[in-house]
A and B are shown apart, each in its own frame.
Chain A
């Protein structure tokens, strides 16, 4: 699909000539690094305490004390950061009247949506790749189990894809980028809060369904090193659903 490649190349170019990617990337990496630093220092302090009390640090586990906490915190960071990356994708096209150009070029709407999604996803993957410096450096000085770290990254990749799809959908409904960003914040926060409602309802069918709908539980499994098809399906189907909705909105905008 050459048009998709052209769109990806153009979107990446647009991202990297604007300051957005640099600012968002810097904030993301700083937060990741700083959180990692905090958890590592905290773990170190605990280790010293344990040494003094029991004379051994056998119970200290970097996977539990650093990575699980780090990945758990990152979902909140992603929720704040990714809508800023996606807000321009379609809203800007409408604002600058290039939307009509795209719609009258011999390109299908799904090629536009997929192209834009892949481009922003590549930016996100690039940011994640830079964060691997943290586990790589840590591996030089300590011992931990790589498996849950990798599933944690898989969790971030899936969660990020879902967030970006929600953001792309939000960007399709408006020509105002601020509105797009806030719509995706709102949608993602509601989705998050569903987990609270789910646990409130507890062990009832409604409680299970609602908990399942929130992205929290699925992400926790992955961070703990559990790969369950159910969780993978949740993220993939959620992403596809949001992209499909964006497609419908773009298509419908021709009819209004």
Chain B
């Protein structure tokens, strides 16, 4: 449905995105994950035919974004970062304006209007001026705008930004319900969002794609070793060296907390028993022991930071992110 092939966008000397390639199948929900300024919005703007790419080609539903912008625009529903609403109009007026721009008229327009108003639970604010709506409602009006013509492709730029937790869940449910019938690209810098709603994640950083996979496989791919976090009541000063002597242990890392160490062993092995027996035998006061699995958040941090910026001992702060 969406095919992006080696697109590059330069603003003068600044390269916003660099040879980005990915594709989205029909009915698939793809998360575009990256820190702020990674090039997510630029990519989306190219896909919506708002700006042209410097190099490379992007296609939506078989139409080239640069050559046939009209065809592309007809098939896309786009929610930019700031919901594009006219404050002086009521919700119904605004949505019917959007519908008319999208070529809807008469009963088709009325039906489409009723459908999106129901789908986004906007019924109670239908006749209110958008200027008087809360941020959450505006975001929903923005989404309604993108959905009114029931487009096969939806491009949503940070759709849950600024919403409260309940609204976030509602929007995520909505996006999930679109999967299957619509192809969705969703940009976000919030990791749980990507895992919650998307079948596939593209991680972009500094304008380049650094990883692309399903959320599960991404974490599995990066977990090169099993990790156990061990908290002791009275660890000796040389606890790191002492644990290294235990058979099966490959690495021992100190953490920010002096009582906690991180023990690594080869993937697929379980050395918890040996570690526990050793700690108890030494009388260090074993308080806690738990396996650490890498969350997508760690994957994200690991992929988007350069190696030299992440000293091994700081790579994972146990406890802060469990």
Contacts and interface: CB of A to CB of B under 8 A. Distances in A.
A108 B103 CA distance: 13
Chain A interface SS verdict (over half): helix
A10 interface: yes
Contacts of B76: 104
A100 B85 contact: no
B105 A10 contact: no
Given A100-B84, A101-B80, A254-B51, A107 B89 contact: no
A104 B79 CA distance: 10
Interface in A73-114: 96-98, 100-101, 103-108
Contact of A6 (B49, B73, B84, B97): B97
8 contacts: A7-B101, A17-B88, A18-B88, A100-B84, A101-B145, A105-B73, A254-B50, A255-B51
B100 A6 contact: yes
A55 interface: no
A4 B184 CA distance: 29
A236 B82 CA distance: 38
B89 A254 contact: no
Nearest to B41: A100
Contacts of A17: 88-89
Contacts of B51: 254-255
B98 interface: yes
A208 interface: no
Contact of B89 (A2, A10, A101): A10
Interface residues of A, number: 25
Chain B interface SS verdict (over half): loop
A126 interface: no
Contacts of A13: 88-89, 93
Contacts of B87: 96
From B78, B101, B145, residue with most partner A Cβ within 10 Å? B101
B292 to A, nearest CB: 42
Given A13-B93, A255-B51, A106 B85 contact: no
Contact of A3 (B45, B50, B82, B101): B101
A10 B82 CA distance: 20
A223 B70 CA distance: 45
B159 interface: no
Contacts of A107: 101
Given A3-B103, A100-B50, A104-B76, 12 more contacts: A2-B100, A14-B88, A17-B88, A17-B89, A18-B88, A96-B84, A101-B78, A104-B73, A104-B78, A105-B101, A105-B102, A254-B51
Interface of A: 2-3, 5-7, 9-10, 13-14, 17-18, 96-98, 100-101, 103-108, 254-256
A98 B84 contact: yes
Contacts of B78: 101, 104
Contact of A98 (B50, B85, B100): B85
A106 to B, nearest CB: 4
A98 B88 CA distance: 13
Contacts of A6: 97, 100-101
Contacts of A97: 80-82, 84
Nearest to A14: B88
B101 A103 contact: no
Interface string B139-167: 00000010000000000000000000000
B48 interface: yes
Interface in B53-77: 70, 73-74, 76
A106 B103 contact: yes
B39 interface: no
Contacts of A96: 84, 86-87
A14 B93 CA distance: 11
A13 B93 CA distance: 10
Contacts of A2: 100, 103, 105
B207 interface: no
A120 to B, nearest CB: 15
Contacts of B81: 97
Contacts of A18: 88
Given A2-B105, A10-B86, A105 B49 contact: no
Given A100-B50, A254-B52, A255-B52, A106 B74 contact: yes
Given A10-B97, A14-B86, A104 B70 contact: no
Interface string B32-52: 000000000000010011111
A18 B82 CA distance: 22
A18 B74 CA distance: 31
From A3, A13, A104, A105, residue with most partner B Cβ within 10 Å? A104
Contacts of A3: 100-101, 103
